[in-house]
Amino acid sequence: MSNVMILMSGGVDSTVLAHMAGDRLGGLLFIDYGQPAAEQERRAVYRWAAPRDVDVIELACTLSGVDDHMRTGVGADGLRMLPGRNLIFAAHAINIARARGWAEVWIGANAGDEPYPDCRPSWVSALDALSQADTGITVSAPLVGMTKAEIIERARDEGIDLAQTWSCYQPVQITEPCGRCHSCMEGRISCCDDPANHRRDPGGALDCIQCGASLPCGVCDECRAGIRCREMEE
């Protein structure tokens, strides 16, 4: 029985959730709130949903503070916290789920999202209690106890093509993640450590085919000396 709605951004977390839901998946909610990577996220959502004939509900939503909190520069490090974002997203998902007769809303918060107040287990529990009291809809974050590395490993076990997901906050180009923002760096630890994901260009530079991150080439004098790779400086 289809009874689960998932807030879907096209990233690894929400894609794994969609796989986990299986036959219980009723639909995906994609929200365009003016984020820099809206088009890339949308494409990733449909890349997963279209071949599986899964319903995608799109919603345009105006949020205050997007420029200040999300457009901090290509490759800029640090968290990008937009106050109230997940609360607003979840409210829309709860409303739609109730209207369609679905019983649950899943969000993709994980253990590494602890710095974000609206991804913590206590926040999810509080929202779930409020939602159930108001609408009867259950809100949960099935991945909240898993690290990003564990989720990536789960994705591989499920046969998910990580190259078809999108996590970068603010891309360099329409198909090229920056490789340096917090979201890109979060996924690097697992995917970049796998030699199967390494690609070397004719000039000797090495990158990760999964996340687009530049990697130490391992052959220049600087790498051999244990200092910053010459290819990564260029």
pLDDT at 95: 97
pLDDT at 226: 44
Residue 178 lies in a domain: no
Quick one: 212 exposed, middle or buried, by C-beta within 10 A (0-12, 13-18, 19+)?
A: buried
The verdict on 153 and 196 lying in the same domain is no
Model confidence at 228: pLDDT above 70: no
Q: DSSP secondary structure string, 38-55?
A: HHHHHHHHHHHHGGGT--
Model confidence at 218: pLDDT above 50: yes
Average pLDDT on 16-23 reads: 96
CATH of the domain at 142: 3.40.50.620
> Sorting pLDDT into bands at 50, 70 and 90, what band is 115?
confident
Domain that holds residue 17: 4-164
The verdict on 95 and 134 lying in the same domain is yes
Residue 120 lies in a domain: yes
Residue 73 lies in a domain: yes
The verdict on 153 and 224 lying in the same domain is no
The verdict on 93 and 156 lying in the same domain is yes
Query: End of a domain among 112, 145, 164?
Result: 164
The verdict on 110 and 147 lying in the same domain is yes
The verdict on 31 and 127 lying in the same domain is yes
Query: Count of residues for the chain?
Result: 234
Query: End of a domain among 127, 147, 164?
Result: 164
pTM to 2 decimals? 0.76
> Sorting pLDDT into bands at 50, 70 and 90, what band is 57?
very high
The lowest-confidence range among 35-44, 168-177, 219-228 is 219-228
The verdict on 75 and 142 lying in the same domain is yes
Query: End of a domain among 147, 164, 181?
Result: 164
Average pLDDT on 113-129 reads: 90
The verdict on 211 and 147 lying in the same domain is no
Domains in the chain, number: 2
The verdict on 129 and 38 lying in the same domain is yes
The verdict on 77 and 128 lying in the same domain is yes
Residue 170 lies in a domain: no
Average pLDDT on 59-63 reads: 86
pLDDT at 67: 55
Residue 185 lies in a domain: no
